[in-house]
A and B are shown apart, each in its own frame.
Chain A
Amino acid sequence: MGDLIQIVVAKYNYWIYITLMMIGLYAMIVKNNLVKKIVGMNIFQTAIILFYVSTGAKRGATIPILEHGHGEHGAGAHMIHAVDYINPLPHVLMLTAIVVAVATLGVALALAIRVYNRYDTLEEDEILAQIREK
């Protein structure tokens, strides 16, 4: 029992992130409305970004901006230890991912507006019915 508590305390973060991802995936598959599907896609994307950024955290370390940065160049700068700063690589990759997410959102909403102009509804089953009777 103590072993189980140990595992839960060490890993509960990852389980909550996976829950968020599955909420987004469920919304994308099951929901009929196009805007709800787009919301589900964005929930999925931000949950994945959260998961990646969490792999860069370090206990007892500070943000990845070097201290005494703009004071001295070269001589006089003290040693910088990698243990003191959290890992900046996932942050860099996820900056790109956030901006790509908003670009995808813009194009998806443009497509949804076009579909609405053509079929006068945003529900997927009504659109399919209209296509089938053509």
Chain B
Amino acid sequence: MKIIGLIIALSTGVLLISATGDFPGWADPASPASTHLSPHFIEKTMEETSVPNIVTAVLADYRGYDTMYETAVIFTAGLACFILLRIFVREEPEDRLYRHVLTGVTVRVKEGAKLPPSDDFERIDATWTPPDLIIKTICRFLIPFIQLFALYVIAHGHHSPGGGFQGGVILGASIILLAISQDLRTSVRRMREKLDAVLCAVGVIIYAGTGALCLLLGLNFLDYSALASVLHCDPVTARSHGILIVEIGVGIAVMCTMIWIYNNVSSTGKYDEGL
């Protein structure tokens, strides 16, 4: 198997290297990739959409159809993870571990039995380590600032590198940080699973809904200049605002998918213990 793999990899490599003889030189301004459509995008973006970041304008406006389906792909991936892994258990059938806070004694409670409800016992994971005050406090302090930065990245995507995807991933990472530094149960209590799934779909609906609204107002699907009548501005500014609305939808969808996939993978679907 190793020899077959080595032969396949080497022969494909040699074929590809022999094909590089036809490639344009490195960083050539006159290469075919840079001559047909991209000068139009570079020169006309400012006067047609008034968005300085060319990549955001092309991604959300000129190629908005691709981005809508990409958001749908992200949602489908989160859904696939959920369908593959999630197990719904009614009660808690396995042995649970509790720790008496004052003395540090660990108590194992068998299935079906219950402890009297009191504040002295706290539920711990099977891989419990003594909580580190520094990490918990610093993560609790940092998470709001991380979310603020993520919202800045989404909102400032018109003028600086950034946009919907990046901001959405950073928002998702902030909730994953909460789950890692404290407990998966804490993070699930803050961001419930049902809210997560519904918000993920809402993100895709915002994107497709903006396109449908443009269709209802008389122009083509995802032609944002139709929003000029709803937003009371000229068509160029309407396109800029349409890009912002669509990026918000993408950001929401990506955030919820990252949280969803992490919750399912790190607890193998049972939502009881995390990393």
Residues in A with CB closer than 8 Å to B26 are: 10-11, 13-14, 54, 57
Residue of B nearest to A103 (CB): B77
Residues in B with CB closer than 8 Å to A104 are: 77
Residue of B16, B33, B45 near A56 (CB, 8 A) is B33
Task: Tell whether, in the assembled complex, residue A88 and residue B38 are in contact, meaning their CB atoms are under 8 Å apart.
Answer: yes
Task: Tell whether, in the assembled complex, residue B50 and residue A85 are in contact, meaning their CB atoms are under 8 Å apart.
Answer: no
Residues in A with CB closer than 8 Å to B55 are: 64-65, 88, 91-92, 95
Residues in B with CB closer than 8 Å to A59 are: 27-29
B84 within 8 A of A: yes
A1 within 8 A of B: no
B204 within 8 A of A: no
CA distance A90 to B34 in the complex (A): 10
Residue of B23, B25, B77, B85 near A114 (CB, 8 A) is B85
B220 within 8 A of A: no
Task: Tell whether, in the assembled complex, residue A65 and residue B43 are in contact, meaning their CB atoms are under 8 Å apart.
Answer: no
Residues in A with CB closer than 8 Å to B174 are: none
B183 to chain A, nearest CB (A): 20
Task: Tell whether, in the assembled complex, residue B23 and residue A22 are in contact, meaning their CB atoms are under 8 Å apart.
Answer: no
Residue of B nearest to A114 (CB): B84
CA distance A35 to B80 in the complex (A): 19
Residues in A with CB closer than 8 Å to B161 are: 63, 65
B17 within 8 A of A: yes
Residue of B nearest to A29 (CB): B5
CA distance A106 to B9 in the complex (A): 26
A119 within 8 A of B: no
Interface residues of B in 107-134 (CB under 8 A from A): none
Task: Tell whether, in the assembled complex, residue A15 and residue B20 are in contact, meaning their CB atoms are under 8 Å apart.
Answer: yes
Known contacts: A10-B26, A14-B23, A15-B17. The answer to whether A99 contacts B5 by CB under 8 A is no
CA distance A61 to B76 in the complex (A): 38
Known contacts: A11-B26, A65-B52, A88-B55. The answer to whether A113 contacts B2 by CB under 8 A is no
Interface residues of A in 79-101 (CB under 8 A from B): 80-83, 85, 87-92, 95-96, 99-100
CA distance A59 to B27 in the complex (A): 5
Task: Tell whether, in the assembled complex, residue A107 and residue B38 are in contact, meaning their CB atoms are under 8 Å apart.
Answer: no
Residues in B with CB closer than 8 Å to A96 are: 66-67, 70
Residues in A with CB closer than 8 Å to B25 are: 10-11
Q: Interface residues, chain A, CB within 8 Å of chain B? A: 10-11, 13-15, 18-19, 21-23, 25-26, 29-30, 54-61, 63-67, 69-70, 73-74, 77, 80-83, 85, 87-92, 95-96, 99-100, 103-104, 106-107, 109-111, 113-114, 117
Q: A29-B1, A89-B41 are in contact. List 7 more A-B contacts (CB 8 A).
A: A23-B9, A30-B5, A30-B6, A70-B52, A80-B43, A96-B67, A114-B85
